[in-house]
Each structure stands twice: as C-alpha cells, then as structure tokens.
Amino acid sequence: MTWQDLWKVLLDLVYGHDGYCTLCGRKIREKEPVCSICRRNLAYLRAGYEKCTLCGRFILHGKLCVDCGEAAPVFLAVRTLGPYRGELKETLQRFKYRGQRSIAAGFAYLMAETLQSYLTQHRVDLIIPVPMYWRKQQSRNYNQANLLARELAHYLKVPLADSILLKVKDNPSQTKLAKEQRMANVSGVFRVASSGAVKDKNILLVDDIITTGSTISECAKMLTFAGAKEINVVSVAAGITASKEESDFDIGPA
Ligand SMILES: [Zn+2]
Ligand SMILES: [Zn+2]
C-alpha cells in the first residue's frame, strides 16, 4: 500500500461518502459536496458571458436576450450556475440520464450559495420543483428537479412543496420549436393542485435547465394565477442565446 492509498483509506474513515466531490467523483478533503476543480471549471464556463437580466439565459453582450426583448416573463429573478456547455452539460447529463442522483447534493449546494446574497433581502416561503409528467417520471424513476429542490430545501431550511404544481399533460421537447410554438406547447400543461397553499407566498421555482424559458414562464404564470406573490427561479444551467442587440442589428444567429 502506497502512502496515497493509505491517505485515501484514512479519508474514507474520516469523511465516508462526504470525502468525494458529488459532481466529478474526485476525493476531497473539504467537508462540502463540491471540489475546488469543479468550482474553477464553473467559473471558467461563465467567463465571457453576460446574462439576460430577465430570463437568466446567457448572451454574449447586452442586457436582454432576443425573447425577453419582445415580452418580459412573469418571474422576478433567475439564478443559475452557468451556461449549458462543457463540464456543466456533461455533469447535468449524468445526473438526468444516467441515474447519478447524488449529484443533486453538489448542484443544490452551489445553488444555495448563489442565492445567499439575494435571500438576505428577499423572503422565500416555499420551494417548488418544475414537475414532470407522471408517466415520464415512472420510466425514469425520479424527477431531477425534485431531487434538486429537496436538497435545496435542506440547505436553505425552507419548506419543500412538491405536490402543489402538477404536470397534467405530456408535451414534446421545447428545444426544436419556434417561440410561438413553444408557448402553445406548454399552455395548459401545468396545474396548481391547491391555490390555498401558494396564496400570498414567495416561491422559489427549481429546474435543472432553462432552455428557452417557456416552461418556467408557464409555471410562474400558473402560480401567479393561483395567488402566489413573488416567483423566483433557480436552475443548474441555462441555455446560450442571441441578445436583443444582436437581433436588432441582425447579426445574431437566425
Ligand atoms: Zn469535483
Ligand atoms: Zn431573456
């Protein structure tokens, strides 16, 4: 046994499962679920991008993305860990499609961190995950947004409400649809099971990725109709899109 092996065994004894980074699996000495290399990777992925101030998606310059330049969404603010590319994309895919559920702890830990300064000035009463259609959840065995919301509720010490917002219809993926089609595609898909539970509440809506913003917009709309006061959104990743300025000058992607 080399001294490195011995060190690993000792770490295992001291920390147990906590001795691993939940995102990349590296051994770590910190008593938190994310390693410094994963943190550095995230900072690198975010560098050089601006964020749309309304939907949180990443743009190259300016303040608004092309969609929010046309119509503002109904939620207040969006926090994400980074753009959907590189290591973040790869880790998110392992989390969603390859059953690596423990990744939820690391992502939620970082999400709680990004929300910290915001939460000193805003109250959040309930954490609600973007729901999945029951049949889809049955075949995947879990809803990744639900796992994130559960961990986040634990870190932020805010109640989780995972059976208030329901997905009552299955709909095709949003990614390949144009804006009008995306809005039609999510219309009538979500339902609030109990308006009393959200009335006058400040809600933190949790999703794994904001691809187009239509899904969270529709969820926020339904919660607002049901009487919720404020909707904030947090997600692991957000898509990269054209900015309003780019489309104004017609130099953005078609
Ligand atoms: Zn790591
Ligand atoms: Zn936007």
Global confidence as pTM: 0.86
Q: What is the CA radius of gyration of the chain?
A: 19
Quote the pLDDT of residue 129.
98
Ligand nearest to the CA of 241: 2
- Which among 236, 239, 240, 242 has a CA at the least distance from the CA of 96? 236
Ligand nearest to the CA of 19: 1
- What are residue 62's DSSP bridge partners? none
Q: How far is the CA of 38 from the centre of ligand 1 (A)?
A: 4
Alpha carbon 190 to chain centroid, angstroms:
18
Per-residue pLDDT of the chain (254 residues; tens, 9 = 90+): 555 555 555 554 554 446 899 999 999 887 789 999 999 999 999 999 999 988 889 999 998 888 887 766 666 678 999 999 999 999 999 999 998 999 999 999 999 999 998 888 889 999 999 999 888 888 888 899 999 999 999 999 999 999 999 999 888 777 777 777 887 888 889 999 988 999 999 999 999 999 888 889 899 999 999 999 999 999 999 999 888 887 766 544 44
Quote the pLDDT of residue 254.
45
Distance CA 136, CA 149 (A): 18
Distance CA 58, CA 246 (A): 13
SS3 category, 219: helix
Q: How far is the CA of 22 from the centre of ligand 1 (A)?
A: 7
Contact between 73 and 96 (Cβ < 8 Å) = no
Q: Which two tokens stand for residue 97?
A: 């499609």
Q: How far is the CA of 198 from the centre of ligand 2 (A)?
A: 25
Sheet arrangement for strand 126-129: 77-83, 230-238, 202-210, 126-129
